[in-house]
Amino acid sequence: MRTMIVTGGTGAIGAAVVGRLAAEPVVDRIAVLTRAPSGARQQRLLQSWNAGDRVPVVFLHGKLPELVEAGATLRADLTHIVHLAADTRFSAAPEESRAANVCGTAAVLDYARTCPRLAAMTVASTVYVAGLRSGAIRERELEHGAGFANNYEASKHEMEVLVRAAMGDLPLSVCRLSTAIGEDGTGEVTSLNAFHTALRLMYGGLVPMIPGADDTPIDVISTGFAAQALRRLATEAFRPGETYHVCAGSDAPTLGAVLDAAMRTMRARRPAWRKRAIAMPVLADEPTYELFVRSVHESGDAMMAAATRAVESFARQLTRPKIFDTANAVGALGDAWHRPDSLGLCEDVVRYCVENEWKAAA
Ligand SMILES: NC(=O)c1ccc[n+]([C@@H]2O[C@H](COP(=O)([O-])OP(=O)(O)OC[C@H]3O[C@@H](n4cnc5c(N)ncnc54)[C@H](OP(=O)(O)O)[C@@H]3O)[C@@H](O)[C@H]2O)c1
């Protein structure tokens, strides 16, 4: 019986990936690793994945470091691993990010080495393993000395170094995603991330200044596009030893366009908000932004300080404009590369957030 393990299948991207995997009979059963198999979200997901004539999905209870034990009974039949589990918090301490993202991945690699029939293991990463580099970023590139905007990026980079080293003895590929912000068409958001947090604070008038320039690319994608690309790259389009950028690439909208679209949508959806006359945030270079941050922290304004801290966990990225090359991913996906318009997606997501008072769908 061909078996697949998905780690992180209950997450924002993971749930959508499992839904798509269950619809394609590439394997005979799917086991989703979770730390909490009986949570309300988990049960809802299990029902939706198993609705209709699909590949059966079950939960495998465990944490990443214990995967070798938790997955022992599946080892002989295991053909595919999709490793998505991660601590995705930008504000996590370095040891927390490393525990899940580096040590957790090392445990999955150890487990993979014990599976005699393993044909494909796909690891989700982030385009921001490029850290504070600027300019064109190629899919084959990894090492750099530019530093990182937060511990999440640093830990994912370290994870990729581990994965590259293991490509010599395991069938491995890496899918680097950019920021998934919501669903195509509806703009529905199932999990709020840094993108939504920044816009919510802007909506509250708590972001008078943002680092970056009008033409800084903002690489965002839809959850559906990320999940569909991942599904394919992990199954029929799987090629060992490859790294892919699943992102908007050269079609990424600019910071100026995203802010314009966001302000326009907020004004149109909330006439009462329009009366507050909240101004468009000023775009500033890095030294000016750092002065602003210092003055906010010295001012004693607790609300503004908390808002500024939330933006700080990714703000430096905005001063390092980059374009992610997608040649490898486009080549592997061919006709299946259907990336929706990112600026239209931003508008849909802002509309969804305003109408749902910045709450994610259950
Ligand atoms: N969402 C994005 O925009 C984005 C962008 C770039 C890259 N990525 C990458 O894509 C992957 C999926 O992201 P996501 O947004 O779906 O993440 P998410 O919503 O934060 O979910 C994280 C998942 O990881 C699992 N997990 C966390 N720590 C674990 C541990 N110690 N042991 C076992 N499972 C653990 C959680 O499962 P349980 O709580 O059920 O145990 C959960 O399903 C991640 O690798 C992330 O780095 C995502």
Q: Is the CB of 88 under 6 A from ligand 1?
A: yes
Of the candidates 298, 343, 293, 299, the one whose C-alpha atom is nearest the C-alpha of residue 313 is 293
Residue type present at position 122: T
Residues facing 215 on adjacent strands = none
Q: Is there a single domain that holds both residue 133 and residue 276? A: no
Confidence (pLDDT) at 277? 76
* Cβ burial 228-263 (10 Å sphere, 16+ → b, else e): bbbbbbbbebbeeebbbbbbbbeebbbbbbbbbbbb
Confidence (pLDDT) at 123? 98
Residue 123 CB: number of other CB atoms within 10 A? 26
Q: Is the CB of 177 under 6 A from ligand 1?
A: yes
Say if 348 falls within a structural domain.
Answer: no
Q: Is there a single domain that holds both residue 144 and residue 206? A: no
Residues of the chain with pLDDT under 50: none
Q: Is there a single domain that holds both residue 157 and residue 296? A: no
Q: Is there a single domain that holds both residue 76 and residue 157? A: yes
Confidence (pLDDT) at 351? 95
Say if 352 falls within a structural domain.
Answer: no
**Rounded Cα–Cα distance for residues 115 and 83 (Å):** 15
Atom of ligand 1 nearest to the CA of 42: 40
Signed CA dihedral, 244, 245, 246, 249: sign only:
negative
Segments forming the whole domain that contains residue 100: 3-185+219-251+322-339
Residue 205 CB: number of other CB atoms within 10 A? 15
Q: Is the CB of 86 under 6 A from ligand 1?
A: yes
Say if 353 falls within a structural domain.
Answer: no
Say if 359 falls within a structural domain.
Answer: no
pLDDT digits (tens, 9 = 90+) for 153-166: 999 999 999 999 99
Q: Is there a single domain that holds both residue 154 and residue 203? A: no
Confidence (pLDDT) at 337? 84
Say if 157 falls within a structural domain.
Answer: yes
Are the C-beta atoms of residues 101 and 87 closer than 8 Å to each other?
Answer: yes
Q: Is there a single domain that holds both residue 106 and residue 148? A: yes
Residues 6+ apart with CB under 8 A from 278: 202, 203, 205
Confidence (pLDDT) at 53? 87
The CATH number given to whatever domain includes residue 163 is 3.40.50.720
In angstroms, what is the span from residue 84 Cα to ligand 1's centroid? 6
Q: Is there a single domain that holds both residue 133 and residue 178? A: yes
Say if 154 falls within a structural domain.
Answer: yes
In angstroms, what is the span from residue 215 Cα to ligand 1's centroid? 30
Q: Residue written as tokens 């006439």?
A: 271
Q: Which of 88, 101, 179 to mutate to test ligand 1, by most ligand atoms within 8 A of the CB atom?
A: 88
Number of domains in the chain: 2
* Confidence (pTM): 0.96
Q: Which of 10, 42, 68, 84 to mutate to test ligand 1, by most ligand atoms within 8 A of the CB atom?
A: 84
Say if 40 falls within a structural domain.
Answer: yes
Q: Is there a single domain that holds both residue 86 and residue 165? A: yes
Q: Is there a single domain that holds both residue 176 and residue 271? A: no
| Residue 344, both tokens | 């239209």
Q: Is there a single domain that holds both residue 145 and residue 290? A: no
Q: Is there a single domain that holds both residue 8 and residue 108? A: yes
Confidence (pLDDT) at 65? 85
Q: Is the CB of 87 under 6 A from ligand 1?
A: yes
